[in-house]
Amino acid sequence: MPLYEGLALYAAATEAGMLGLPMLEVGTYCGRSAILLADAARAAGVIALTVDHHRGSEEQQPGWEYHDPSVVDPELGLMDTLPTFRRTLRRAGLEEHIVALVGRSPQIAAVWHGPLGLVFVDGGHTDEHANADYEGWAPHVAEGGLLVIHDVFPDPADGGQAPYRIYRRALASGAFTEVAATDSLRVLRRTGPGI
């Protein structure tokens, strides 16, 4: 995540923390954005949650542009970013301010029942995954809470379109209103019911 987007995410999390509700991230990878949410949660006296299966998104698999062989488990031959994520939190001194939910986003969303002050969607970038993240977690954004979507690229030449499509879907629903845009990061506030 570029610096300006990280600062915008932190500002959104700081604002959302004032609601006194947990904040949730979908798509942890190695924890860069998770430490921003955890630090904002610490300051607000709430908890941050992060959801990821830690096996990497499609673009992070072997042979793809964002593959990092250093996060491949040598025994299994599969990506495993969980150890790197845990080291990231430890180094930042934020382990006690975040809960890692390890599993697939739709499965965890199906058993989640509480309201959230902020949902940050930065998981898989296929239409299937982005829509499942949106449909699973957007209903939990509390009134006045924030839905933050990363990698929103209106021009297909700049990046994948699935995050852009869920961003457009959120706006079209009437449930969310855009309050900030920083590069590919969009911040929307829940202003009505639905998704």
Catalytic option among 53, 54, 97, 125: 125
Vertex 90, ends 9 and 183: CA angle to 5°? 20
Q: CA separation (Å) from 103 to 50, 65, 127?
A: 10, 24, 19
Three-state SS at 49: strand
Residues 159 and 85: their CA atoms lie apart, in Å, by 25
Residue 183, token pair as written in the block:
């590069």
Three-state SS at 118: strand
Residue 10, H or E segment: helix 3-17
| Catalytic-residue membership of 129 | no
- Residue pair 150/143 in contact (Cβ under 8 Å)? The answer is no
For 156, which DSSP code? Answer: T
Question: Which residues does the annotation mark as catalytic?
Answer: 125
